[in-house]
Amino acid sequence: MNNLNRNLISNTVKVCGVFLLLSCKNTDQQAAQFPPMELPVSIIEKGNGLVSREYPASIEGVADVEIRPQVSGYLKQIYVDEGAYVRAGQPLFKIEDRIYAEQYNTAKAAISVARANLSNAKIDLDRRKELVKEKIVSNIQFQQSQAAYEAARASLDQAEAAAQSARINLEFSVIKAPVSGYLSRINYRLGSLIGPSSVEPITLLSDSHQLNAYFSMSESDFLSFQDTHIGSTLSEKIKNSPLVGLQIANGKMFDQKGKLDAVDGQFNANTGSVTFRAKLDNSKNMLKAGNTGKIIIDQRYDNVILIPIASTTTVQDKVYVFTLDKQNKAVQRSIEVLGKTGLNYMVTSGINPGETYVVSGFERLQAGMPVVPKGGGNKKDQKVAGSSKSTNN
């Protein structure tokens, strides 16, 4: 049995030796099939980047006012048309006012009655004042006359207040524009019964000489915004932030830049985002309240690693680049990308400044293959292809 075991072990060693010899031979043959490739290379350097981030925005006028009646009645007159531009204080609608006019007249008559009562009370008070001095009437009678006078004076005040209220209701029968702006659709027609409790407003008046664009920013973008803008407090950061652009629905850029001027006090727990407001000038009235668009915010990054997008490959959402080791053999590296700036990626990790990377022609390149650098990859003056240390637009 021992001799048999020795023979088996010996044969196994021989077979393994033959297998290793064949494997080495196959590896040498594969290496011979891939001769060194002459490829253009360059040096990884740092530069400045500019990233444009887009945020869907809803647009409102600086004052979007619902026009509602403050008294009830039938719509008697419409002085304006839908879509018209009106100025603050301009009459828009008139409600049937006869009942309010009569209420005002009744209130004014009540004032006359109250004044007459007050005059009578004053005469009686003065008469009893003299009688008290002559001790013809008692102090109690005088005090009664004085109380009657005070009651008459209060009645006059009450009548004047009622008249003032009736006058206000009469004035409310003419509905005027609270601000200057453009009218929306008129929801009622002549003869419609309207009042403060009506479900729909009569119309909407939008002051759109300036616009407010509201958009939401994610938590990560918000933190990046705070890191890349100057200011010790959030309000100062917003004040010092650069102007923003607005891309309107047809894909064109609005001709006026906007300025961030407000941010919500807390994040929305459901969406994980915070709302910003940008104000834009709309003196040419190119946009209306209700338009949509995208706010474009440029964020500047200084001294970041730049590498041309054309020098990378993407596999399953991962970005790769080929670099060369000391023996000029290809090394495939996975990189983390912060964003795009022009024709370059901004890289946060995976490669370092000063390393040599393959610029192009790496479609058949595999890791470990030898490369003959073309273009002086090890020269100190090589630049990142398609970029410089200035800000990319």
Largest distance between two CA atoms of the chain: 160
Helical axes 139-172 vs 98-133, angle rounded to 10°: 160
> Using an 8 Å Cβ cutoff, are 92 and 177 in contact?
yes
Return the pLDDT at 135. 74
Q: What is the CATH number of domain 66-194?
A: 1.10.287.470
* Confidence at residue 391, expressed as pLDDT on a 0 to 100 scale: 38
CA angle 65, 67, 69 (to 5 degrees): 145
Residues 292-312 pLDDT 10s: 899 998 877 888 899 999 999
pLDDT at 192: 94
Q: Report the distance separating Cα 72 and Cα 103, nearest Å.
A: 14
pLDDT of residue 89: 93
CB 122 within 8 A of CB 149: yes
Q: What are phi and psi of 174, to 5 degrees?
A: -105, 115
Residue 33 confidence (pLDDT): 55
Query: Same topology for domains 52-62+204-301 and 66-194, yes or no?
Result: no
Cα separation of the two ends of the chain? 82
Q: Is the Cβ–Cβ distance between 324 and 377 less than 8 Å?
A: yes
Residue spans of the domains in the chain: they are: 52-62+204-301, 66-194
Residue 383, token pair as written in the block: 């630049």
Q: How far, in Å, CA of 337 to CA of 107, rounded?
A: 77
pLDDT score at 279: 93
DSSP 309-377: GGG-EEETTEEEEEEE-TT-BEEEEEEEEEEEETTEEEEEES--TT-EEE-S--TT--TT-BEEEES-T
**pTM confidence score:** 0.61
Q: Which positions of the chain have pLDDT values less than 70? A: 1-34, 137, 230, 376-393
pLDDT of amino acid 9: 45
**Taking Cα atoms as reference points, which of 219, 229, 211 lies closest to residue 277?**
211
Q: What class has domain 52-62+204-301?
A: mainly beta
Token reading at 303: 């001294």
